[in-house]
Structure formats: C-alpha cells, structure tokens
Amino acid sequence: MRPERRCSAVSGEVVLAGRRLALGVPETYMNDSGLAVRALARRYSLEDLSQLVVVHDELDLPVGTVRVKRGGGIAGHNGLRSVQSHLHSLEFLRVRVGVGRPPGRMAGADYVLRRPSRAEADELAAAFEVAADAVEAILADGAEAAMNAFNGR
C-alpha cells in the first residue's frame, strides 16, 4: 500500500480469484472518512456502489463478531454518515466488526478510541482475519453467498 495524497488515504491493488481488488485506508479522521472513500472510488473508477465494501467497527455487535450487510442505516456511526454524505448513497456493502457496547454511560467515541483490554485485542485480531476472509468471499462468490457464510457464525 502506498500514500494517495489526493485521496487522503493509503491504497493498493491485488488480484484475488482472477479479479482486481483495490484496498484503501483513509488517513482522515473517522468523521471525514467519506472524503477519502469518494476520492478512492474516483481513483479506481468505481461507478457501481454495490462493488464498494466498507469495513467498519460496530457497537451493536459483540466484540469479535463479524457480519456482512448490504445498505441499511448508519446507526449513529459518524464514519458511515460521512461516507453517505459524500457518496449520496448507502447502497454499498459493509463488513461490520463488532466492538461491543461501552460500559455504563461511557460515550461511544471514547469507548472505540480507548486501548482495548488484552482479551479484547485478541478477539479483535481474530475478527480482523475473519473480516478479511469476508471481503475475499464477497469478491470470489458475491455478496449473498458471503452473507450466508459469515452471518450465521
């Protein structure tokens, strides 16, 4: 992966299952990640948003849980709000990585920005591997097959 200055991201390309996969990681604040996603979509000539996969944290899933989803609401997620604002659509695919709910009255932003416990970090590391497998499954077999394979776990 290499810096894409005009995209405010790092990106790269790989070929999996005979298909090109462009990977991008925004270097913006999460609340502005839509800027980078829109720029990367243009950079890689992505016109069909059903071909876009956004991997993100999800407070509504237990720590380490991975789910694949098409469209839907933003559930208060400011990163998704930014992506929606810049793409004018929510019709992209998502790989949701559960981080669990904050304890007590802790704000969601404070919760996701804190250092996870050792046990949580181990669960998240395993979840990141599963999330990468989900992206590969989307590319190889399509969204519906990936949802069937990963959402029942």
> How far apart, in whole angstroms, are the C-alpha atoms of residue 93 and residue 34?
14
pLDDT beyond 90 at 25: yes
pLDDT at residue 8 in the model: 93
Instruction: Supply the pTM of this predicted model.
Output: 0.91
CATH, residue 91: 3.40.50.1470
pLDDT over 70 for what percent of the chain?
A: 99
The whole domain housing 105 covers 2-150
pLDDT, tens digit, 9 for 90 and up, residues 85-107: 999 999 999 999 999 999 899 99
pLDDT beyond 80 at 153: no
> How far apart, in whole angstroms, are the C-alpha atoms of residue 19 and residue 140?
8
pLDDT band of residue 43 (cuts 50, 70, 90) is very high
> How far apart, in whole angstroms, are the C-alpha atoms of residue 21 and residue 16?
7
- For 70, the 3-state DSSP assignment is strand
Please state the domain count of the chain. Answer: 1
pLDDT beyond 80 at 50: yes
